[in-house]
Amino acid sequence: MTVTTAPVRRPSLLRPLPPALRTPRGRTGALLVLLVVLLGLLGPLLLGTDPYQQGRDALAGPSWDHPLGTDEVGRDLLARALAGVRTELLVCLLAVPAAAVLGTLLGLLGGLNRLLGELVQRLFDLLLGLHGLLLGLALALLVRPGLGTVVATIVLSALPSFGRQARAALLGQLARDHVVAARVLGVPRGRILRRHVLPNVVDATTALLAVAMAHAVKIEGGLSVLGLGVQPPAPALGAMINAGSKYLFLQPGYALTPVALLGLLVFGLTLLADSFNRERLR
Q: Which residues contact other proteins by CB under 8 A?
A: 122, 125-126, 129-134, 137-138, 140-143, 214, 218, 221-222, 225-228, 238, 241-242, 244-245, 248-249, 252, 255-256, 259, 262-263, 266-267, 269-271, 274
Please, which residues bridge with residue 267 across strands? none
Q: Report the nearest approach of other proteins to the CB of residue 227 (Å).
A: 8
| Nearer to other proteins (CB atom), residue 36 or residue 201 | 36
Exposed (0-12), middle (13-18) or buried (19+): which is 8, by Cβ within 10 Å? exposed
First to last CA, the chain: 27
Alpha-carbon dihedral angle through residues 70, 74, 76, 77, given to the nearest 10 degrees: -40
| Nearer to other proteins (CB atom), residue 124 or residue 202 | 124
Q: Report the nearest approach of other proteins to the CB of residue 161 (Å).
A: 13
Q: Report the nearest approach of other proteins to the CB of residue 103 (Å).
A: 19
Q: Report the nearest approach of other proteins to the CB of residue 276 (Å).
A: 14
Tell me the one-letter amino acid at 225.
Answer: V
CA angle, 272 as apex, 268 and 277 as ends, to 5°? 150
| Nearer to other proteins (CB atom), residue 199 or residue 244 | 244
| Nearer to other proteins (CB atom), residue 173 or residue 242 | 242
Exposed (0-12), middle (13-18) or buried (19+): which is 282, by Cβ within 10 Å? exposed
Q: Report the nearest approach of other proteins to the CB of residue 7 (Å).
A: 33
Contacts of 129 (CB under 8 A, 6+ apart): none
